Each structure stands twice: as C-alpha cells, then as structure tokens.
Amino acid sequence: MKVSILLLLLLLLPAGFSVGAADSPAEGPHLQISSIYGNLEVGRPSSIFVVLQNNASPLQVPDEPGFNKENARSIVAELSSYDDRIKIISGRQNAGLLAAGENTTVQFMALAKGAALGIYPLQLCLNYSRLSQVTASGGERAPNFVFTYEKASIELPLQAKVVLGPKIELEELEGETLPGAESSLQLFLVNRGDEPALDLQMQARPGPPFLMVENGQEQADLAPGEKAPLSLSVFTDENATSGYYALPCLISYRDGQDKEKRNQELAVLIYVGEAPPSLWLYLGAAGLILLLLAGGLWGLRRFMSGRRRLRIIKS
C-alpha cells in the first residue's frame, strides 16, 4: 500500500521542475516573514525575533515528506543592516525544515551604537534547498527512487525600531538620618525610558557610615514616565559627621520586551544631620545653672546680712 502511495506522489510530480522565476506559487515553498518582535536598545545588545512562515499549500495526498516539493529544507537565515550604526552581532541561524503551512522563529542579536531613535531597514537572506526532481526505476514491488535537490535563496526586507529602553532614576528622597539613630526613608524611582520595567525591586547595601540597612519588600511595574515609592531603614554610625553620603543600591527588573532580567547600580545620597547633644551635656548645663543660682543666693544672703549689721552699728 505504501509503495502505491509513493508511486502516486511520483506521478503528481513532473519529471523535473525549475526553481526559477517562471515557477507558479503552487510549485514550491513560499517563505515569508510572518511577524517581527523585539526592539534595539541604544548601546545595548538586543534581540530581534523573526517568525518565518512557509505559505505554500500542503499537498492534498497522504503525507510523505520525502516527496513534498513545498517543503523548504536546510534553511539558513542571515540578517544584515543597511546602516553602519546598526551592527548585527549574531551570525547565520539554522532554521532547519519548514513544511508548507508551518512557521518557525529565528533570533538575531544586534547593537545600535550612535543611532538616533527611530525605525531602520534591515534585510533577511534565506538560503535553503528544495526538491527539484524525483526519478524512479525498478518494478512496482521494489521501486528505486532518486531525489534531486537544488539550492534557492530569497531576500526579505524588514524593519527594526531603535529605542531607549527602561531607564530607572531616583526622582525624590524623603527623610534623613542622624548619627547613632535608625531612620525610615522613602525613595521614589521613575522610569525615564520608553520601555516598561517589570517586577522592579531595590536592594540597598550597607556602607560607611550606614552600618545596617533593611530593605522594603515592594515590587513595582513602571511604564515609561511612571514612578513608584520604595522604602528602606538605615542605622547610622554614631561617630558620623554631618553631610551627604552615598548609599549603594542594586535595582533589578525585567524589561518589557523579551522579559530579560536586568540589574542597575544606583547611588542614593542620604543626608546625615547634626548629632543631638548628649544627656551628660544636658545634665552638666543643668548643674551649672543650679550652681550659679546657689552662688547667687549665697551672695544675696551675705549682702543682706552685711546691711543688717551696718544698721545695728549706726543705731
């Protein structure tokens, strides 16, 4: 039964067919770009995902892949740029076999360096092979098939968008700390970029004069232009002098494009105020005041006693 099906497929194929421009759309694979996703972030290697589709119509006979002339085999995809500011980092990508009606995705890495924001043209070259001829010899019970393949290529234009990406900055800090004290602070982080930052968290690390740091548990999704508050507590060295000090923080988030996790260093300037006078200083000042009052009373009593003696003598 299987041999009969193979012979039927062979009869459906011409004795030989060309891959030139005279082919009709039904005579071979029709590779096209189904969709593209991923943007190029300025100054950072970025991924571009290209979805390829074989738009040929599948054969209306039982599936025998070896006889299907609509299949594109051994596909090799190569991306190139017309602009020197867009550098394609990755090389050729193997996409394998793409049957009629199916699709596959190839991924490329590119770097936009010195390029302004906007849309840039790229070109995708696809090299592949396809079945060109099948010849048979021998009898029906033991046929011998010879498959002949030939190479083909197609160039497909596409576009990529250059963006800033997420850019996290500190917009505002509420609170300050004092030497030898624990203080609660609130930081407002803002996304100055043009791509969202997802699941954003902050991890502050202790450094002089901040001896201990306790981070809040907040998570935030920041769309472009949005801001969110994050909290932390710091304990400051009692010997710290007044002034501004940098607290190192690690900002982590996932970008909204390919969900890649990113880390960003951020230095937060925190003001350390003047240390309040100690209790002993207060007690010393209070003792001095009491001593002065006692001395004044003693002097007043001596003065009054002297005046009374003077009156007695005169009298």
What pLDDT does 57 receive? 82
Whole-model pTM: value is 0.68
What whole-number distance in Å separates Cα of residue 136 and Cα of residue 288? 119
What pLDDT does 257 receive? 73
DSSP string, 51-118: EEEE-SPPPSS---GGG-TT-EEEEEEEEEESSTTEEE-S--EEEEEE-TT-EEEEEEEEEE-SPPSE
What whole-number distance in Å separates Cα of residue 56 and Cα of residue 100? 5
What pLDDT does 10 receive? 44
Q: At residue 168, what are phi and psi to the nearest 5 degrees?
A: -95, 130
Q: At residue 232, what are phi and psi to the nearest 5 degrees?
A: -160, 160
Scanning the chain, the segments in alpha helix (DSSP H) are 2-12, 279-314
What pLDDT does 5 receive? 43
| Contact call for residues 127 and 76 (beta carbons, < 8 A) | yes
What whole-number distance in Å separates Cα of residue 30 and Cα of residue 154? 10
Beta bridge partners of 72: 98
What pLDDT does 2 receive? 47
What pLDDT does 142 receive? 67
For the chain, residues with pLDDT lower than 50 are 1-25, 62, 279-281
